[in-house]
Amino acid sequence: MKRKLFALALGVVLAATSLVGCGSGNGTTSPEKGTENSTEGGGESGSTTEKIASLVSGGEPGSLHPALSQGTHESVILDHIFEGLMKRNQEEEIVPGMAEKFELSDDKLTYTFTLRDDIKWSNGDPVVAGDFEFAWKHALDPNTASEYAYQLYYLVGGEAFNSADVSAVSEDELKALEDAVGVKATDDKTLVVQLNQPVPYFTELCAFYTYYPVNAKLEAENPDWALDGATHVSNGPFSITEWNHDQNVKVVKNENYYNKDAVKLSGINFIISEDLNTDWQMYENNEIQANYNLPPDVLGKLKAENNPELVIPTELATYFYRFNTTKKPFNNLKVRKALSMAVDRQTLIDEVVQGGQLPAYAIVPGGVADAEGDFRENGGDYFAENLEEAKTLLAEGLKEEGMDSLSFSIVYNTSEAHKKIAEAIQAMWAELGVDVQLENVEFQVKIDREHQLDYEVSRAGWIGDYVDPNTFLDMFTSWSSQNDTGWTSPEYDELIKKAASEFDVAKRMEYLHSAEKMFMENLPVLPIYYYTRPMTVKPNLTGTFKPVNREINLTYADLQ
């Protein structure tokens, strides 16, 4: 017995040491390199000061190739290293980026972009119109299997090319579909883009990361260029030097960038981290200068003490609950209305969420331009909270459905924040005499059940793809894969279709306002709040800005 145990221990230790031998070797070499680099940086700083800002970008990027990226933890990096035909400036206006100018045809279907003369990739190659043509077609290629390919469906032939069944069509057929896509570089400086229908927010899309260019020459030589920091090439204000998986992505100022004089930072260190408390501790410890992943209790404290480092920009996003309108009694408008009116949103925000969010009485958040002014301000609120009226409505609604009491469950994906909100709403609805259970499920299961309409009330949130009411309203058309409420309306569909092809801003916004009004009169969802993006920025980091639908941008920032 004794020997056996000794043998077990020995075996375990042997196995462990043999593996550790190689493990520690790998583990220590790369970090050493890292420290060497940073000390070199520090050494040089005697003459020219190195200004490296750090911030947490989120989880490990799945890809830093524009065609394959799909989340904010990736786009926050891409937005610093790439630049599209158009870009968003500090004043949040869409202005020409790689393009010098563009012309729009009278039928609003053809854009002709002329590229700037002084634009280069970080490896010195010139940026040519063909790089855009290549990048867009590459993203649409069904073989690329890009999740964001649909962002390019506005192009003539885009959806057809992306929908081709690669196992069924021949190479020639696929090539023909590719050639039919409405983007063509007529020469190195001219890009002609043809759209299926007028798209009023197309210039905005040209600043979106799926529309970023890719160095076509490089992609032909080395298709794996985007997998490694050392081979990564981009055309924006910064370019990647190191990508240490699960640790950080380091970018330095791109000396080939045409507007490099406006870039004051010498580099940015994007730290990969998924723990809010650690993020905050790094910020407290001055390891990062900006932090937009604040733990809720820290946020509450910062707000209470009016901390000057805390800023609360609005976010283009809405938090809401879906009703399953195919299930009794949620098919009854009075019931949906009663439940919507019985939620005390301001209390929920002040006591539970604590991020300075805005109570939502409609679906499109603020910060979206109308024909004149702000879409939300012009549209106003579509209902008001009123517990007494809610009680009456609920009683009427239940009677109409032949029910005398209401008991159901709220489905939400497992998360502390969603749970707290659901608990608060549960308590608020209890005042209506409604018995609510909470059901937390895995995210995947929630999505699955929503698609199957196997729920009563479910938690949801939506961040706009682009700054336009349409990104919130077209979710609820009959053909949308995001509807999941069981509510459809031909009239509503008609309004969204009309708005989609209307180029007259005033008319178009009128359609969208009507659509939102109609949607809110039917209340297939219960809006709760418009998101904010509370963040802290150290006083020595100046000149940052945050576009309403993107993360913080440090392109023009400076570090004292």
Footprint of other proteins on residues 56-115 (CB under 8 A)? 60-65, 68
Minimum distance of other proteins from residue 440's CB (angstroms): 12
The amino acid at residue 368 is V
Site membership for other proteins, residue 387 (CB under 8 A): no
Residue number, 122 or 458, with CB nearest to other proteins: 458
24 touches other proteins by CB under 8 A: yes
Both tokens assigned to 143: 């073989």
Please identify which residue in 54, 57, 162, 522 interacts with other proteins, judged by CB under 8 A: 162
Q: Where are the alpha helices (H) located in 363-407, listed in sequence order? A: 375-379, 387-400
Is residue 178 part of the contact set for other proteins (CB under 8 A)?
no
Q: How far is the CB of 460 from other proteins (least distance, A)?
A: 7
Do the bridges between strand 52-58 and strand 267-272 make them parallel or antiparallel, or are there none, so unpaired? parallel
Residue pair 232/225 in contact (Cβ under 8 Å)? The answer is yes
Which range of residues in 3-11, 111-119, 511-519, 538-546 is near other proteins by CB under 8 A? 3-11
Whichever of 102 and 154 has its CB closer to other proteins, that residue is 154
Q: Are 493 and 515 in contact (CB under 8 A)?
A: no
Give min distance, CB of 284 to other proteins, in A. 5
Sole window of 13-21, 130-138, 369-377, 503-511 interacting with other proteins (rule: CB under 8 A): 13-21
Name which of residues 430 to 449 contact other proteins (CB under 8 A): 442-445, 447-449
**Residue 272 makes contact with other proteins by CB under 8 A:** yes
Q: Which of 91, 93, 246, 404 binds other proteins (CB under 8 A)?
A: 246
Q: What is the C-alpha separation between 484 and 491, in angstroms, rounded? A: 18
Of 117-125, 136-144, 337-345, 396-404, the segment contacting other proteins by CB under 8 A is: 136-144
> Looking at 364, 460, 496, 557, which residue binds other proteins (CB under 8 A)?
460
What are the angstrom distances between the C-alpha of 219 and each of 95, 225, 226, 401? 28, 7, 9, 62
**3 state DSSP class of 230:** coil
Q: Which of 101, 175, 245, 328 binds other proteins (CB under 8 A)?
A: 245
End-to-end Cα spacing for the chain: 67
Please provide the DSSP assignment of 64-120 as one string. Answer: -STTT--SHHHHHHHHHH---SEEE-TTS-EEESSEEEEEE-TTS-EEEEEE-SS-B
Determine which residue in the list 35, 48, 170, 560 makes contact with other proteins, applying CB under 8 A: 35
Question: Rounded to a whole number, what is the largest CA-CA distance in the chain?
Answer: 91
- Least distance CB 375 / other proteins (angstroms): 21
Binding to other proteins, residues 208-237 (CB under 8 A): 226-227
Which of these segments, 145-153, 181-189, 351-359, 415-423, binds other proteins (CB under 8 A)? Answer: 145-153
Residue 48 interacting with other proteins (CB under 8 A) = no
Give, as ranges, the residues between 467 and 506 that touch other proteins (CB under 8 A). 480-482
Residue 36 vs 188, nearer CB to other proteins: 36
Rule CB under 8 A: choose which of 84, 96, 142, 182 binds other proteins: 142
d(CA 257, CA 249): 19
In this complex, which beta carbon is closest to other proteins, that of residue 5 or of residue 220? Answer: 5
Of 25 and 539, the one with the shorter C-beta distance to other proteins is 25
In terms of CB distance, is 24 or 407 closer to other proteins? 24
505-522 and 490-501 helices, crossing angle to 10°:
160
How far is Cα 535 from Cα 360, in angstroms, rounded to an integer?
Answer: 21
Minimum distance from residue 15 beta carbon to other proteins (Å) = 5
Q: Cβ closer to other proteins: 133 or 465?
A: 465
Contact 330, 336 (CB under 8 A): yes
Q: Is 400 in the site for other proteins (CB under 8 A)?
A: no
Binding part of the chain for other proteins, among 11-19, 404-412, 505-513, 545-553 by CB under 8 A, reads 11-19
Of these, 44, 103, 107, 284, which contacts other proteins (CB under 8 A)? 284
Q: Which of residues 311-350 bind other proteins (CB under 8 A)?
A: none
Residue 527 Cβ vs other proteins, minimum distance, rounded to whole Å: 16
Q: How far apart are CA 549 and CA 8, in angstroms?
A: 58
Locus of tokens 């410890």: 285
Task: Please select the residue that binds other proteins; options are 287, 309, 400, 558, rule is CB under 8 A.
Answer: 287
Cα dihedral 320, 324, 325, 330 sign: negative
The piece of 99-107, 126-134, 201-209, 457-465 that touches other proteins (CB under 8 A) is: 457-465
Any contact of residue 40 with other proteins (CB under 8 A)? no
Region from 374-382, 426-434, 456-464, 486-494 binding other proteins, contact rule CB under 8 A: 456-464
Chain CA centroid to CA 62, Å: 14
State the Cα–Cα distance between residues 164 and 177, nearest whole angstrom: 8
Q: Which of 38, 479, 473 is nearest to 252 (CA)?
A: 38
Q: Give the Cα separation of 37 and 31 in Å (integer).
A: 10
Site membership for other proteins, residue 273 (CB under 8 A): yes
In whole angstroms, give the CA distance from residue 367 to residue 373.
9
> Residue 331 corresponds to which amino acid?
N
Shortest spacing between CB 104 and other proteins, in angstroms: 26
Is the Cβ of residue 144 or residue 259 nearer to other proteins in the bound state? Answer: 144
Q: Does 26 bind other proteins (CB under 8 A)?
A: yes
Asked if residues 154 and 109 have their Cβ atoms less than 8 Å apart, the reply is no
Interaction between residue 166 and other proteins (CB under 8 A): yes
Sketch the per residue contact string, 252 through 271, with other proteins: x for CB under 8 A, - otherwise: -------------------x
């004292």: which residue's tokens? 560
- Residue 153, interface with other proteins (CB under 8 A)? yes
Of the candidate residues 47, 48, 170, 285, the single one contacting other proteins (CB under 8 A): 285
Q: With contact defined as beta carbons under 8 Å apart, do 160 and 173 qualify? A: no
Total residues in contact with other proteins, by rule CB under 8 A: 81
Q: What is the SS3 assignment for 143-209?
A: CCCCCCHHHHCCECCHHHHHHCCCCCCCHHHHHHHHHCCCEEEEECCEEEEEECCCCCCHHHHCCCH
Half-sphere exposure of 538 (CA within 13 A, CB side): 20
